[in-house]
Amino acid sequence: MILISLVISIGYAILILSLIVGFDRVKPFNSEEHEESTRFTILIPFRNEAKNLPYLLKSIASLNYLATHFEVLLI
């Protein structure tokens, strides 16, 4: 019984150590190296929202994303 517990404990320790070493080898993500290539559409359903619409459009205009890579559809 002690032998089984010892084998399981050693196996667990090896697993944890391999995970720690593996996570240390991962390179940090640098967003400056990657181009903004994802294109998307913003769908805005609005009804009786005339007073909120200018704030919403101002917020969308201030997005830090290429304007050619997204479109805004007001429904």
- Please check whether residue 45 is in contact with residue 75, taking contact to mean a CB–CB distance below 8 angstroms: yes
Q: Which two structure tokens, joined as six digits, stand for 52?
A: 């909120």
pTM: 0.47
Classify residue 72 by burial, with Cβ atoms within 10 Å: 0-12, 13-18, 19+. middle
What's residue 36's pLDDT? 64
Higher pLDDT, 36 or 64: 64
What's the pLDDT tens digit per position in 1-46?
Answer: 899 999 999 999 999 999 999 998 988 877 676 666 788 999 998 8
What's residue 17's pLDDT? 96
What is the domain partition of the chain in residue ranges? 2-74
